Amino acid sequence: MRKIISAGIIVYIMAQTLCACGKQQPDGANKVYVGVAYYDQSDTFLGQLIACLKNSFQEYEKDGYEIVMQVRSASGSQRTQDDQVKELIDSGCNVLCVNLVDRADPSEIIDLAREHNISIIFFNREPVAEDMMQWDKLYYVGGPAAQSGIMQGELAVALIQADTGIDRNKDGKIQYVVLEGEAGHQDAIIRTKNVVETLKNNDIEIEKLSYGIANWNRAQAQNRMLQMISQHQNEIELVLANNDDMALGALDAYEKLNYTESTLPVFLGIDGTDVGLEAVRDSRLAGTVYNDKEGQASAIAKLAVALVSGKGLEQIEFENEKYIYLPYLKVTKDTVDEFFQKQSRN
Ligand code: BGC
Ligand code: CA
């Protein structure tokens, strides 16, 4: 009996060694069946992030992995997303990438995954810390929200210091409005807080005229901005938007009212989506902050493959054992070309 066992072990070790040479993984572990669930198909940034994710996963096919990726978008309904995750699991997914609709309501999805022992990589919409502690196979990949607010603030400070014309009424203060993303989204709350603090910390006198919640959406931002312009006319000197789509929506509002360039405020966004970068290149936005979708996608794919194959997990660096944050980057007209290149490389 003992001989049979040790012979078995030797055969197993040989098989493992052979596999390592041919870059083949042990049975089953080279099949990565990814289920991706995201909150809404109309979100510009998410659409581009999902495209990056496809590219990043495909890279692993070169290394002998079989990759199948299924994507579901939930049209803004957590109920729908819970059902979609159930279907993805039933259809055989062995790892899940989840962009929650309601970041405070992941319990159903976590329970489903735990029942089937399938790891979840949450991304972009960060569950609260207590929920991340519910199980040890939960991970998060995203950007450090505070940094994006600080960088947007630093862009604003540099512009205001370089151009006294931004203070159009010459009262020594910058009158500003904020366009905020969804209430309750970590990026909306933290970006707004940090951009304002950064301006204050740099001794810029500011006066908040108003704010509007526009749920990351260009059309909603245009409406909110039209309302704010009707209240404040030419008083607004700076528009701080939690993302590029809303910064562009604000600009749409001014265009609709036929404002000329000399009477426009300064607009700043966050994301560096295709449309955002183009607007920076054309000086319609004064700047943006790059939300590194290529980096996030490649971290998600790497982690997913490691979780399924059981290989390479020890090389991945986590914060608090389950978080991966990819740094943001400032984008101005001077640096925008680098970012177009970054996108075309992906
Ligand atoms: C992005 C937004 C996007 C949101 C969706 C944010 O990080 O900046 O553009 O709409 O995530 O969750
Ligand atoms: Ca002023």
pLDDT at 28: 63
Ligand 1, atom 3, lies closest to the CA of 45
Which H or E run contains 201?
helix 186-201
Q: Is the pLDDT of residue 10 over 80?
A: no
User: What 3-state DSSP class applies to 266?
Assistant: strand
* Residue 15's pLDDT band (cuts 50, 70, 90): very low
Give tens-digit pLDDT for 60-103: 999 999 999 999 999 999 999 999 999 999 999 999 999 999 99
What amino acid occupies position 187? Answer: D
Percent of the chain whose predicted confidence (pLDDT) is above 70: 91
Nearest atom (ligand 1) to Cα of 245: 9
**Total number of residues shown for the chain:** 346
Give tens-digit pLDDT for 212-271: 999 999 999 999 999 999 999 999 999 999 999 999 999 999 999 999 988 999 999 999
CA separation for the pair 81, 74 (Å, rounded): 5
pLDDT at 91: 97
C-alpha radius of gyration, the chain, whole number? 23
pLDDT at 268: 99
What φ, ψ does residue 22 adopt, rounded to 5°?
A: -80, 10
CA distances to 34, 180, 191, 346 from 91, rounded to whole Å, are 10, 38, 38, 29
- For residue 45, the CA-to-ligand 1 centroid distance in Å is 6
* Residue 24's pLDDT band (cuts 50, 70, 90): very low
Per DSSP, 62 falls in state: G
Give tens-digit pLDDT for 103-121: 999 999 999 999 999 999 9
CA separation for the pair 139, 122 (Å, rounded): 6
Ligand nearest to the CA of 191: 1
Q: Is the pLDDT of residue 319 over 90?
A: yes
- For residue 17, the CA-to-ligand 2 centroid distance in Å is 70
pLDDT at 131: 98
- For residue 10, the CA-to-ligand 2 centroid distance in Å is 78
pLDDT at 255: 97
pLDDT at 201: 98
- Packed helices 244-256 and 218-232: angle between N→C axes, nearest 10 degrees: 50
Cβ atoms of residues 240 and 156 within 8 Å: yes
pLDDT at 4: 52
Q: Is the pLDDT of residue 22 over 60?
A: no
Mean pLDDT of the chain: 93
pLDDT at 29: 83
Cβ atoms of residues 240 and 195 within 8 Å: yes
What φ, ψ does residue 273 adopt, rounded to 5°?
A: -70, 170
Per DSSP, 128 falls in state: P
pLDDT at 12: 46
Closest CA to 134 of 107, 96, 102, 97: 107
pLDDT at 346: 63
Give tens-digit pLDDT for 270-280: 999 999 999 99
Among 48, 102, 124, residue to substitute to test ligand 1 (most atoms within 8 Å of Cβ):
124
**pTM of the entire predicted model:** 0.91
Ligand 1, atom 11, lies closest to the CA of 124
Ligand nearest to the CA of 176: 2
